[in-house]
Structure 1
């Protein structure tokens, strides 16, 4: 079975790089991190994927083996993806420089890590985003999903009916950023705030009597992914 080490070795050969040190310089990371990639201790993050987007290889293939191998095949052959989050594909009727992010509903269970996706039947037109934006941020297209905001708890940042793109590959908590969360079996979009040594789900709505913050810990609060983009009819 092909491993990340195998794929990185092939990329290095194509770039005429022979040492881990040189790959670290190319990706602007430490040599120790490169060693962890080769040993299987950690996966590629946004910074190396951004660097690899300058090569002829498809970053999905580099990250997890998702075909096709080369970027030109994505454009010329219209490949989609086939893993758990197979909701992203090159736009069928548009430019190969655009990527479709399908709008989905999330089906969750309390305390269970992982999600099931249902493509929305109503207003199901996919979001189209520039491939250059995906590459620039080091996103893995197959890990991007789009969901609709429900309710007014995140106003004025997010309104009912807005659509957000979630990067399910990024579950690392960062104080003040917004995430999709499996909170006791319910899919919610909230801002994560660190206070008094704990993480809290916080709403942007100023009515704190209605939208008080909630503790985020353990199996009752499972991070689905980070919100990285929004689409709104409001200016």
Structure 2
């Protein structure tokens, strides 16, 4: 049996998943034709280490399948049951202070998570999930400046309940805690927008029309200093 080359392996993996080659190029931060040129024209001769790692994690295969030396393989199909989903990470930040402008929401990269783990975190389709960064200290100690948060955009105003949400007000994204008022006023649920840091004021007696709910924060990660 002839062992397949990294180019053949990548083409096969993309075909099995039904992935568009230009989308895979964007996944690794390259121009749309990059992966197609690698597969069909042999340019570049081999994948860069970072590109190979991202693609291996996305497909849930060993890096050696895509051309890495065997000792450099970091992910094998058994590590996550060969069942990964990539979630987009965006350049925009959600301020935990005065508000971060969100005029551009450029995709920085994608991070691969096990599908089962994502299902435990959020009920929405993975396409409704995004990763952005927290800016500011108004949500201390729960969220700190620089934390990465997983936002479920499919869990927004329609299911609003107590929890931490990303909100859009004017041209700014903010991350705040919502505390529902158990009493209904004129058939409309009211709520308070709160900061976990007591040094910041709350916004009491808000209604659905006062803010645009982007999604619910379901997970956070941070760098340990």
TM-score normalized by the length of structure 2: 0.53
What corresponds to 1:154 in structure 2? 139
Structure 2 matches for 1:45-194, cutoff 5 A?
76-77=16-17, 79=19, 92-94=55-57, 95=60, 96-105=82-91, 118-120=105-107, 124-136=108-120, 137-171=122-156, 172-175=159-162, 177-194=163-180
Counterpart in 1 of 2:3?
none
Distance 1:131 1:93 in 2: 15
Structure 2 residue matching 1:93: 3-state secondary structure = helix
Distance 1:128 1:154 in 2: 27
Partner of 2:209: 219
| CA displacement at 1:153 relative to structure 2 | 0.6
Residue segments in structure 2 that go unaligned for 5+ positions in a row: 1-12, 21-25, 28-53, 61-81, 94-101, 184-189
| TM-superposed deviation, 1:170 | 0.5
**Structure (1/2) with the larger strand percentage:** 2
SS in 2 for 1:178: strand
Query: How far apart in 2 are the matches of 1:78 and 1:141?
Result: 16
Query: What is the CA distance between 1:117 and its match in structure 2?
Result: 6.3
Q: CA deviation at 1:77?
A: 2.2
Aligned length: 142
Structure 1, unpaired ranges of 5+:
1-72, 81-85, 108-114
Q: Distance in 2 between matches of 1:160 and 1:140?
A: 28
After TM superposition, the runs of 4+ consecutive aligned structure 1 residues lying more than 6 A away are none
Q: Under a length normalisation based on structure 1, what TM-score does the superposition of the two structures give?
A: 0.51
Q: Could you say if the C-alpha distance between residues 131 and 116 of structure 1 is closer, same or farther in structure 2, counting changes exceeding 3 Å?
A: farther
Cα 1:75/1:185, change in 2 over 3 Å: same
